[in-house]
Structures are given as structure tokens and as C-alpha cells.
Structure 1
Amino acid sequence: MAYILNIETATKNCSVAIAKDGEVLICKEIAEEGYSHAERLHVFIEESLQAVGIEYNDLTAVAISQGPGSYTGLRIGVSAAKGLCYALSIPLIAVDTLESLAAQADVKDGVVIPMIDARRMEVYSAVFSSEGSMMRNVLAEVITEESFSDIKEKIYFVGDCNEKCKTVLIAENFTFLDAVKYPSAREMAKISQEKFINNETVDVAYFEPFYLKDFMITAPKKK
């Protein structure tokens, strides 16, 4: 029996789910413009454990959404996950953020392209089959009218970039699933359970989020 705590903080959605053998027992999440992860995350974890009726020591592993996504959000989630794994001496599992986002698309044909906003017309994206297997690795790319024109199958777009991308992605085989906006810890559960069974864990000491792009700190403009 495996209790896995799943943590998703790569976007505006602060999300926590506890799963037992891959089945979600509870999921608490909120998406706010102000990125309230630092205030919400540990509260959500505590409330979720209490609701399920287990304690920290009952956890078998912690799964963290590894990115790409918000630098600050990823740091908060990874720091919390590492702290729990160190304190409880349990393994850390890393789940690709775009994979769990794509898993929310309930489609039977074509391909799924999850996209996370990377400012302006740039996005973090990948390509998955309707069955969930990755067909193209994660990229940071600028969206133009020619984007994804090499894919002739039906394409389903999910993520928080739909509104800005609709103005340029207008091919007949493009469909936007607006109901799927942010990655959630709920969809991490089956992925993390499979990784746990296959012993696909990461080194707690050396694991770093997948930022994809370097984090840039710019000096303020001179007056």
C-alpha cells in the first residue's frame, strides 16, 4: 500500500493531492493571479492529511511537478517536497508538468499539445499522443502561424496559452480545450504511482526543477 503526496506548483495553480495506490483520495487546489503558493501549499498539505485520516509518517513518497513553469512556483514546491522527503526519509518522484497537463485531455484521436505561458508569444510545449505517450520533447518556442503545421492529425491544445494562441493558430485541425487550463496534482497520481512501482525516483539532494530557460534577473531601469 502506497500513500503518495503529489504537489503541483509550476503555474498559478497551487495543487495538492494524496493518492493511495494511484487512486486520488483528496485534491485541494486554487489558482490565483497573485501566486499564493507560499501561503497555501503547507496549509493544503496539512488539511489533506487530516481529511484522509493519515499522518506525515504514513506517506510512502512525495511526487513533485518538475516543470517547466514559473521559477518561483517551482522553487516553492520543490523546497517543500525536498524538506518532507529529508524529514521522513522517503523517496522523491519527479513528474513532467506538461505530461500531467496533457493527461487532463479526454480525447480518443489526434494529438494533445499542452502549453504553459512563457511570456509574450513564447510557450513551453510538448506533443503527446491521445494515449498519453510523448511524441516530441519539451521546447520553449515562439508561436507563429506556422507552428505545428507539420502535424496533419487533429490537434487538441490545453493550457493557459489558449486565448493568446487562438489569434495565430487557426488551422482547421486545431481544437482548443479551454476547460483544461492549469496542471493539477490530481493527474499526477497515476504517473507518480507508476514511477514509484518502477523505482523511478530522483536524488533528493541534487534534484533541481526543469526551468527550461535560464532565470534572468534584470537591473531596474535608470530614471
Structure 2
Amino acid sequence: MALILHIDTAVEGSSVCVAEDGRLTAPVLTTSQKDQSGWLHTSISELMEASNLSLNQLDAVAVTIGPGSYTGLRVGLSAAKGLCFALQTPLIAINTLEVMASSHQPGDRNVLICPMIDARRMEVFTAVYDASLKVIMAPCAMILNGTNFDQLLSEHKMIFSGNGSPKWQKVLSNPNAEFSDAVMTAGDMVRLAAKYYADKRFADLAYTEPFYVKEFYSPAH
């Protein structure tokens, strides 16, 4: 029996949920407000109270590790680490793109899944997975030009999703491409986090950092 708190602050808004053995125990709490740090800790408290649970009952804390918003990733990971240090519980760090891909379960095993996170202009953070979540193309930063996935699309149907996919849709014309408007929440982490816990795939509390894909750049003022 594993009770896991899930935290997502990586992409669009923030969300939290708690699940036991891969099953939600309460609704997912979400927000689109900018003050993620202020919202997050209050919402975790409200979530545990609504679930009639205490933080001391948690067996692990799962968090989306990136890619995503630089600020959002730092907020989520800091909160998750703080809880794990205080409670002496394991940290589960899951790639954001893997979580996005896991929300799609195509009936055709030949279909590939390509989540995309907007990285401004025509750039996205992306990866490609098969229906079993095997990595076909590792997470990377990519500038879209309309031909990026020509070879894969010639052999497979592909599902594109995430807030970076609309700009890809504008430059792509291929009958094997399908677009999803699904928006990821912490609820999409539940199945993966349960598997990570069962496999004891825990992150190092001292050294785990956000997975930015590319280094944060701030121009000199």
C-alpha cells in the first residue's frame, strides 16, 4: 500500500493530488494563477485535510522534474524536496514529457506519442514515445520547421499534444498526424508514480535538480 502526493507546476498552471496504490483518493486541485508558491503549500494542506489524511501518512512525494517553466519547476521541486526531507520519505521525479505521453493510450500499438512544451518562438521541448512509453526520441529542444518528423510520420501515425503543438499544427500537413488538446494535470502522474514506487526508482534528495533541457538564459540588463 503506497500513499503518494503528486505535484505538478511544470507547464500550465499548477495541480496537486493524492493517490493510494495508483488510485486517486480525492479530486485533483488545480489553478492557473501565477503565484504558484503561495498556492501550492496551502493547496497541499487543503487536499490532505479533505482526504482525511496527514502528511505523516505519505509514503512518497512525486513531482514533475521538467522540462517546463523554469520558475514552475523550481517551485514544485523545492516544495517536494522540503516535504521529503521533513517526512523522511522518498522523492519520485518524473519527466514532464513522459507524464504528458502517458495520458494517451492509443489502441494501435504502432502509434507514436509526441508531447510538446512551448519554448517560445518556433522552439519546443519535445520527445517521442511508443504506446508502451518506450523512448523513441529522447527529450530535447527543437526548432520546428515543418519537416522535423518526416521519417517517423512516413511509418507511423503520431499523436501530438501539449501547449507547443498548435504552432506545429500550423506548419504541418500530414494525414498520419493527429492533434490532442488534452491538458496535463497532477492526476496524469498517478499511474507512472505508482510504477516508479513499485520499482523503487527514487531520486536523490540532495542532488536532484530540475531538468531544463537547455540552460536558463537571462540577458544582461
Structure 1 alignment gaps of length 5 or more: none
Aligned length: 216
Determine the C-alpha separation between the residues in 2 that align with 1:111 and 1:85. 35
Structure 2 residue aligned with 1:172: 175
Q: Would you say the 8 A contact 2:10–2:68 is kept in 1?
A: yes
| Structure 1 counterpart of 2:58 | 59
How far is 1:82 from its partner?
A: 0.5
Measure how far apart 1:51 and its partner are: 1.2
Summarize the alignment of residues 156-171 of structure 1 with structure 2, pairs less than 5 Å apart.
156-171=159-174
In structure 2, the partner of 1:87 is 86
Query: Which position in structure 1 is the counterpart of 2:126?
Result: 125
> Contact 2:146 / 2:168 at 8 angstroms: preserved in 1?
no
Amino acid at match of 2:125: Y
- Over the matched positions of the two proteins, sequence identity in percent amounts to 39
* Shift of residue 130, structure 1, vs aligned partner: 2.1
What residue identity is the alignment partner of 1:213?
A: K
Amino acid paired to 1:212: V
Mapped partners of 1:36, 1:104: distance in 2: 26
State the alpha-carbon separation in 1 of the partners of residues 31 and 168 from structure 2.
24
Please say if residues 122 and 140 of structure 1, whose CA atoms lie closer than 8 Å, have aligned partners that are also in contact.
yes
Q: How many Å separate the matches in 2 of 1:202 and 1:31?
A: 28
Which residue of 2 is the match for residue 19 of structure 1? 19
- Kindly state the Cα deviation for residue 106 of structure 1 after the two structures are TM-superposed: 3.6
The Cα of 1:184 is off from its aligned counterpart by 1.7
Name structure 2 gaps, 5 residues minimum. Answer: none
| C-alpha displacement of 1:62 | 0.5
CA distance in 1, matches of 2:106, 2:92: 27
Query: Can you list the C-alpha shifts for 1:192-219, whole angstroms capped at 9, x where unaligned?
Result: 1111111110111111010111011112
Q: Which moved more, 1:71-80 or 1:154-163?
A: 154-163
- Three-state SS of the structure 2 residue aligned to 1:166 is helix
Spell out the pairing of 1:171-210 with structure 2 (5 A cutoff).
Answer: 171-178=174-181, 180-181=182-183, 183-210=184-211
- Correspondence list, 1:24-103, <5 A: 24-26=24-26, 27-32=28-33, 35-103=34-102
Distance in 2 between residues matched to 1:196 and 1:104, nearest whole Å: 18
Identify the residue that residue 142 of structure 1 maps to in structure 2.
143
* Partner amino acid, structure 1, of 2:89: I
Shift of residue 22, structure 1, vs aligned partner? 1.2
> Structure 2 CA distance, aligned partners of 1:133 and 1:6?
22
CA RMSD in angstroms, aligned pairs only: 1.2
Distance 1:213 1:196 in 2: 28
By how many angstroms is 1:165 displaced? 1.5
Alpha-carbon deviation of 1:132? 2.6
Asked if structure 2 preserves the Cα contact closer than 8 Å seen for 1:93 and 1:201, the reply is yes
